[in-house]
Amino acid sequence: MTEQTTRPAPRPDDSDHPDIVVSIGTDHHAFDRLVRWVDDYARLHRDLRVLVQHGHSSTPTVASGTPFLPGEDLGGHMRAARVVVTHGGPGTIVQARQAGHLPIVVPRDPELGEHVDDHQLLFVSRLEQAGRVRSCSTSQQLTALLDKALASPEDFRTHPDDGDGAVRAALRAGALIDLVTRGSGTVPSEDDVRSTGIRQDAVADAVTRPAEGAEGDAEGTEWPEVTVVVPTRDRPELLRRTLRAIAEQDYPGTITTIVVFDNDQPDPSLARADGARPVRVVTNTLTPGLAGARNTGVLATHTDLVAFCDDDDTWMPGKLRAQVRVMLEEPGTDLVCCGITVVYDKVEAVRTLERTSVTFGDLLGSRLTELHPSTFLIRRRAMIDGCGTVSEEIPGSYAEDYELLLRLARRGPIRNIPETGVRVLWHRRSHFSGRWRTISTALRWLLERYPEFRLVPRGYARVAGQIAFAEASAGRRRDALRWIRTTLRARPAEGRAYLALLVVLGVPPGWITRALHLRGKGV
């Protein structure tokens, strides 16, 4: 390991150029996530020469690494490399394009402490829409793009007829971004903005202008209006981030957002009536809780397609477009879901299902956490004129999303897109964090309402084990032991029974849930 971490980067005039060049820039925030992903790839492809300019991030242990390189040296390596990977810094992206590469870009994420704000996420999203980069947000996507770039290098090269307008626009936009994020995030003065040579209101337009000949949507495609229902309670900062991600979708049609305040004073300043991204603010008029709030929003819509998004989650830019495309191609589909990236305590875990269809039987056997409510895109008529709206009978609205999945799956298979489309934030302010008695009561209601669980021992044991853990965490030792026995009789290998037993024996439930959350899992 020592030899690898101290191995010097080759000079650009060496004959032994790296196959893959990775540049993380010079920002003082660590970007260890990208270093780790690249190291994992290098470990599986030891025949490739990989060079990482890692700045203030951790030194790679398999790939060659150097903290900093003179611009001329880095440019030389890029020109000779087969593939270039960068962070979302405008200057680094421009340098890669000038070296002849369509770079693979991983933007820094402020939620993981990789930057001060989300400007790289927005900037890279717009460049990808314009065909100027290939972005990725997971290690699996990076691996797939590297494999593709090495197999088909011409697909990842720039050409003379691309023109340099986007390069100049990115440079100017990058200068403005640097001004905005300088220091603690001060706003640039008018003189500063003028010095960049571009108006503030023109930065986005210049960067997102499509490349010549870029493939657009098929002619004649009519993108239907979609309504997004966002229930909220006492999380104004997270809510605004959620609304911003919805507004920044690359969806060509209109997206109307209905923010439903539940047991909370509504904020009328969020309302917006203009443009293709209007926002309405309403108050929950039905049963207090998540289920009533969702239904208030659904009943207030007039569109055929309705999406859900919790107020602490964020959509990735292409999420809605991909799901609506499935709805357009498959008129008989009632619900489309997608994968999630779980973020907990600055650690992320990708949860995706490889299958594209989920049945009622599948859901009895497993909750399939990947089918998160913030991924739901539903035909409104499937609820209003079909299986019914979100159940307001479930105690505390716990597992209301799972119960709705079960009802919709009875009508027909649920479609799933096996790619990440939503970032799900798990944190100590999550609504059901520590509400063990509510959780136990709701899960017992679920077993009573769906006797089919008895026909699927694995599924029954899973829910019974969750009840046992909730009872143990609530301090009700006798009930916990009873449910532990019930769980083990149904399925002796069910791990939740043993986790519940640990809690009965004195292990704090928070230790267990934290260990699971760091792996993107729950009880």
Q: Would you list the DSSP string of 342-406?
A: EEETTEEEEE--S-SEE-HHHHHH---TTS-GGG-EEEHHHIIIII-S--S-SGGGTTHHHHHHH
Outline which parts of the chain fall under CATH 3.90.550.10: 226-426
CA-CA-CA-CA torsion for 246, 251, 252, 255, nearest 10 degrees? -40
Distance CA 121, CA 132 (A): 14
Parts of the chain with a pLDDT under 50: 1-14, 161, 163-164, 166-167, 171, 175-216, 218-219, 431-432
Q: Residue 521: its pLDDT value, please?
A: 66
Q: Residue 520: its pLDDT value, please?
A: 64
The tens digit of pLDDT for each residue in 444-479 reads 999 999 999 999 999 999 999 999 999 999 999 999
CATH classification (class only), 226-426: alpha beta
Of 33, 42, 53, nearest in space to 139 by CA = 33
Q: Residue 51: its pLDDT value, please?
A: 96
Task: Give the DSSP H/E element, type plus range, for residue 64.
Answer: strand 64-66
Question: In angstroms, what CA-CA distances link 95 with 84, 168, 403?
Answer: 10, 11, 51
- The hierarchical CATH code for the domain 2-208 is 3.40.50.2000
DSSP one-letter code for 270: G
Residues linked to residue 327 through DSSP beta bridges, in sequence order: none
The tens digit of pLDDT for each residue in 272-329 reads 987 889 999 999 999 998 999 999 999 999 999 999 999 999 999 999 999 999 999 9
Cβ proximity of 206 and 237 under 8 Å: no
What tokens appear for 42 in the block?
């290098």
Cβ proximity of 455 and 479 under 8 Å: no
- Chain centroid to CA 444: 31
Q: Is 234 helix (H, G, I), strand (E, B) or coil?
A: coil
Residues linked to residue 84 through DSSP beta bridges, in sequence order: 21
Outline which parts of the chain fall under CATH 3.40.50.2000: 2-208
Please indicate, yes or no, whether the overall pTM of this predicted structure exceeds 0.85. no
CB atoms within 10 A of CB 205: 12
Q: What are phi and psi of 348, to 5 degrees?
A: -115, 150
Distance CA 518, CA 521 (A): 7
Of 210, 280, 305, 213, nearest in space to 250 by CA = 210
Q: Residue 199: its pLDDT value, please?
A: 37
CA-CA-CA-CA torsion for 106, 108, 112, 113, nearest 10 degrees? 150
DSSP one-letter code for 451: G
Q: Is 184 helix (H, G, I), strand (E, B) or coil?
A: coil
Can you tell me which residue has the tokens 């970007």?
A: 31
